[in-house]
Amino acid sequence: MITRRFVISLSASVCPLVVASVAITACSDTGAMDGSAGSASGATAGTAPVGGSGTTGGSGATGGSGNTSGSGTTAGTGGSAPVGGTSAGGTGGSGGSSGGTGGAGGSGTAGSAGSNGMAGSGGGGSLPSEGPCDVYKKAGNECVAAYSTIRRLVSAYTGPLYQVRSGSSAQNMGSGGMLHDIPMTADGYGDAAAQDAVCMNTVCTVSKLYDQSGRKNDLVVAKAGLPAGGDYADVDDFETVATDGAMKLNGKSVYSLYMKVRQGYRISKVGDGMPRDAEPQGIYMLADGSRAGGACCWDFGNVTTNPKSYAEMNTLFLGVAYWGRGAGMGPWFGADFEAGVWMGGSKPGDAGWGGLNDAKNAPPNMNNPSLKVRYALGFLKTSDKYALRMADLATATTLTTAYEGLYPSTKHPDNQGAIVLGVGGDNSNNSFGTFYEGAIVKGYPAAATEEAVMQNLKAAGYGK
């Protein structure tokens, strides 16, 4: 077990509070679920893309504790691309930072970036005519933020799904290269062929996730936060390598967002239409539970506009946290309200309680199942109460309600209005995951509405 000196903080992004002189487990990935855990920030993270034809990427990292010190910054190069796009200036330097202590997995080092892995040839299959945001809208819950690199989530949406940066690197913090919008195909899938055309023989990273809600709450790479959030939290994040997440949906080639440690996306302003203060809010997220981290905090939801300040937050978490626990070994869906991650409960000692200082005294919430499955679906909704629901999308016929009841007694609903994906409110960027799709909605959706959203995702072909 690797230990390091503890930094006291009120954030859910740090290890549990203990007496300062006691050594604790490092706030980094355990390495138990993904080989990319524990890589030094100066290393070049990479994993070979799955499925499809084309050359494979570099080998992924193994183990978790084999960190080395981060490399110094490298000089940027002029931006160019073999196909179209708009110039964004020179490619930014890789930006080294001090190497931290790794997770408690086996020793290992990060692999090189996979630059040319292609999604492969497409097949047949169709999406439902309506997306999950259409389902929510009919029930009176407007989507105010909706993201997917894989498919259309709103039937009326006609714009691009995401943007890639060619001539990039696996350590790109948001500069250089050439930018290319990746559109949808006529039948609503992300256009993998368009990405392949601009990413041939170059490293491509995802530079923007377009908001399909019409609110233009587009996500870009997250910026530095508080140092107490982990080894790399106080430095800017890296964009995700676009070619790492190759997959098939209904026989169609698409790319998921295959995120690693120190990769996150954010808007650092109040999003248009986002719930504020105690206004009710709903979230759904579909992600790969078989590739979920064991550190803080792989989140999606509503956070502060300033990652360098402590504030309440309201996000859906997937992984294994240091605080609240569910049944089995995880990963679990939980509620990251800041200063803890809750798998259930309203007061200290309740099953699943996730308060930073007292979670260790709470039993696990046995109604919150482990979801180490390819298609893990989670829902979080909040008002003066909160509810966590989830399912293995491939096998479930209905959602499991892990908890629905009073809000945690030590917290209060206080939506700040910014949006984050893959990191915590203070840029705690120690975990990882694979994001397929998700949305944030106004209001407190009915259980029947969430069931209908699940059926929409099933109809889209996930898990078939």
From the list 330, 136, 98, the residue with the least C-alpha distance to 227 is 98
Catalytic site residue 130?
no
Distance CA 369, CA 64 (A): 25
Which of 34, 181, 338, 437 is labelled catalytic? Answer: 338
What's the token pair of residue 113? 């970036």
Contact 168, 204 (CB under 8 A): yes
Catalytic site residue 437?
no
- DSSP letters along 390-432, please? EEETTT-SS-EEEEEEEPPTT----B--EEEESS-TT------
Contact 427, 222 (CB under 8 A): yes
Kindly provide the residue ranges of all beta strands, DSSP E only, lying in 36-111, ordered along the sequence: 86-87
Buried b (16+ CB within 10 A) or exposed e, 332-353: bbbbbbbbbbbbbbbeeebbbb
What's the token pair of residue 123? 């097949």
What's the token pair of residue 370? 């482990």
Collapsing DSSP states into helix, strand and coil, what is residue 238? Answer: strand
Contact 112, 94 (CB under 8 A): no
What's the token pair of residue 274? 């986002």
Which of 239, 244, 299, 426 is labelled catalytic? Answer: 426
Helix (H), strand (E) at residue 383: none
Distance CA 339, CA 22 (A): 20
Task: Find the radius of gyration of the CA atoms of the chain.
Answer: 20
**Residues that are catalytic:** 338, 426
